[in-house]
Structure 1
């Protein structure tokens, strides 16, 4: 039987373990275990000299553990998964293999992938350090039954933020919330309306951008939704969040395409046929989530690790398996012509939604992550925004304070 080193929440110290030739350990977070359970037997059947094992921890635990592994130079697997929100910081800390080096030649694969996701795996030196394994084309999921109850057209609802908020006012009369958390609207605007040449939080010279019009606008829209009582004030990944999807008290959710897999598999399976999906409001094309595969410098079996990464990211078999089994959307553009993209999705009332996901994926502008993004994200979205939404702090004052704190912590 395959060696499953750890699955779930438990944490086992593997520091100092030594891999035998042909052994590859994959470190990640659920639902990658479900994905690997299908793919590993196929891979090992054609690579009899290679044995793949995996170690799974919950999303936050995995990234905390990996932070420690990279800092201490030991304990990481041969292949590691990194969420897009961490990728810039991890890459620029210098703990991953340079995949542009001749022994990997990752740059030859560039044209096979969605452009913006490929660029997110680059370092500030222009080299490739991580390969996108799945992406999150930004979309809006909505309850069809709720929209029908107020005679709303989604085309009209998403035409602007004003029309989106007006939809929320109609829903309020029905005791239905527009969205679970207004903070997600601010996050979306911040991440998807970046000007060319800018980063999410910093300009090319490393100066913070958080007092710019983009951030003021993001905070203003979110505050209006909160002040008018249009959001449920429920955070993502809580039981209250799941309940809103199950009972129809939350009408829309801004997310990545990947949310479909969660909704239909475990969050709200009994609501099949009640959902639809459309573009994001205000004509935005953006990314919401995504994952990358990298090889830590401390990895013990880099050659086989790289071969396995190429299988997972650069073969239609593996990429389409992720789409069909766990709802992860392919980063490999060659898959977008697959007949499975024409399949109606029963959970979405027969909508051929994969065509929408592919269209969005190819229109998302590229934004390079920068070293201080994780710090700035924490200060802006976990602190300043909550002060505005929950405590009524003035928007411009909150952003000025955030800028000062970012400068101090990044320096």
Structure 2
């Protein structure tokens, strides 16, 4: 009898080992520059899990999310792990195409306290499902070319006191250096609409699904007004983001400033404009504002065939401090993990920023940024408002009328 029990135990152990060594291909779909972070940690992953091969498919951010939208709608072509940018979390959480990570076997509730609070709210759907794990966040930041501002005699601290000071400085910069203040006036609109939101507010909707857009909204009226002032003064280069012209402007120094998330510094140093090392500096946003600009998450489609390994991969990318720090060093992906934000690297100067200790500034900004509610119609509102802003900037449409029309269109689509 003892021999039989011993044999049974050995057999079970061998079966378990064989199962553990079963070859698995884990399909991961992502976008730049999240793909850089995934490639960077792949050797460490392979060492831990030699039987699980990561098959990474990366597309440009728009193409990636369009492909994932189609895949979720049809149930075809879904990966095991799906990267999601913050602007799409609400939309993707609308149906039941993503796993609720609150539930077993994931039990992600135990990990939520490990992350910057506002990013947990961003990944929580209206019906309280936790649909994605945060990996990086985008503390809003103001990047500027120190050499251009020095040539113009403009003080970067003074120009951040108010939006009016920013525009006045832009006129001086343009007159003395020929450089545009910003790539597009839409960038000013983008930051103003995201700055200093109240608890329980999203960018476009509040926690009760009330639309916050309209001609009586001070935030949107001001955002449109300031953007128009920048355009009317000839201060923007009229260049869209993620275009070759945008990259060239960074390389050639024809644009003096940029509002974005802290992650843009990593993109500049790694592939956009690496030869401009030492010329850039950063500051907080105008008028002491704080905003979330971007952020990335990992989700598991319900159709995933490798959910166990998908979850192991996601934990490796999000709650593992080593992975978070490596992604931060390699491509500037600001860690969502709080413990990673206390790593000694945060006290070091950033060579690309002339040795400035920018990471401490970003960490402080992240901790002062309020949680922002997401809504399944965020992407719809974003597209409609972008169109109406273009109508204002390029066709001279009245701002109040543009916001009235935007409100009507969003409400119609949201029905």
TM-score class normalised by the smaller sequence? over 0.9
The answer to whether the 8 Å contact 2:196/2:369 transfers is: no
- Structure 2 residue runs of 5 or longer lacking an equivalent are 1-21
Per-residue CA deviation, residues 106-144 of structure 1 (Å, 9 max, x unaligned), is 011011101111110111112211011111111011010
Given candidates 106, 109, 113, the residue that maps to 2:108 is 106
Distance 1:339 1:204, change over 3 A: closer
Partners of 1:238 and 1:193 lie apart in 2 by 29
Q: Report the CA distance between 1:337 and its aligned residue.
A: 1.8
Verify: 1:306 aligned to 2:306, yes or no: no
Determine the structure 2 residue equivalent to 1:165. 167
Determine the structure 2 residue equivalent to 1:51. 53
Q: Report the CA distance between 1:150 and its aligned residue.
A: 2.4
Given candidates 201, 206, 213, the residue that maps to 2:204 is 201
Partners of 1:408 and 1:37 lie apart in 2 by 43
Determine the structure 2 residue equivalent to 1:191. 194
The answer to whether the 8 Å contact 1:119/1:368 transfers is: yes
Determine the structure 1 residue equivalent to 2:257. 252
Partners of 1:125 and 1:207 lie apart in 2 by 16
The answer to whether the 8 Å contact 1:21/1:301 transfers is: no
Q: 206-215 vs 30-39, which deviates more? A: 30-39
Determine the structure 2 residue equivalent to 1:409. 413
Partners of 1:238 and 1:268 lie apart in 2 by 13
Q: Report the CA distance between 1:94 and its aligned residue.
A: 2.3
- Structure 1 residue runs of 5 or longer lacking an equivalent are 1-19
- Match runs of 1:31-50 below 5 Å: 31-50=33-52
Q: Report the CA distance between 1:364 and its aligned residue.
A: 0.9
Verify: 1:281 aligned to 2:286, yes or no: yes
Partners of 1:290 and 1:363 lie apart in 2 by 16
Determine the structure 1 residue equivalent to 2:83. 81
Partners of 2:149 and 2:300 lie apart in 1 by 46
Query: How does the TM-score come out when normalised to structure 1?
Result: 0.92
Q: 401-410 vs 21-30, which deviates more? A: 21-30
Verify: 1:387 aligned to 2:391, yes or no: yes
Given candidates 205, 210, 213, the residue that maps to 2:213 is 210
Helix, strand or coil at the partner of 2:93: helix
Determine the structure 2 residue equivalent to 1:378. 383
Partners of 1:102 and 1:133 lie apart in 2 by 21
Query: How does the TM-score come out when normalised to structure 2?
Result: 0.91
Q: Report the CA distance between 1:269 and its aligned residue.
A: 1.6
Q: Report the CA distance between 1:366 and its aligned residue.
A: 0.4
Partners of 1:115 and 1:203 lie apart in 2 by 18
Determine the structure 2 residue equivalent to 1:17. none
Q: Report the CA distance between 1:34 and its aligned residue.
A: 2.8
Moved beyond 4 Å, runs of 4+: none
Partners of 1:197 and 1:328 lie apart in 2 by 26
Helix, strand or coil at the partner of 1:92: coil
Determine the structure 1 residue equivalent to 2:245. 240
Q: Report the CA distance between 1:21 and its aligned residue.
A: 6.4
Q: Report the CA distance between 1:26 and its aligned residue.
A: 0.8
Distance 1:404 1:283, change over 3 A: same
Partners of 2:152 and 2:85 lie apart in 1 by 38
Determine the structure 2 residue equivalent to 1:296. 301
Verify: 1:396 aligned to 2:400, yes or no: yes
The answer to whether the 8 Å contact 2:40/2:327 transfers is: no
Helix, strand or coil at the partner of 1:66: helix
Partners of 1:93 and 1:127 lie apart in 2 by 11
Determine the structure 2 residue equivalent to 1:12. none
Determine the structure 1 residue equivalent to 2:70. 68
Partners of 1:30 and 1:39 lie apart in 2 by 15
Q: Report the CA distance between 1:152 and its aligned residue.
A: 2.0
Verify: 1:265 aligned to 2:267, yes or no: no
> How many pairs does the alignment contain?
391
Structure number, greater radius of gyration: 2
Given candidates 304, 318, 324, the residue that maps to 1:319 is 324
Partners of 2:296 and 2:34 lie apart in 1 by 10
The answer to whether the 8 Å contact 2:160/2:285 transfers is: yes
Q: Report the CA distance between 1:102 and its aligned residue.
A: 2.5
The answer to whether the 8 Å contact 1:25/1:54 transfers is: yes
Determine the structure 2 residue equivalent to 1:15. none
- Match runs of 1:120-135 below 5 Å: 120-135=122-137
Helix, strand or coil at the partner of 2:370: coil
The answer to whether the 8 Å contact 1:193/1:214 transfers is: no
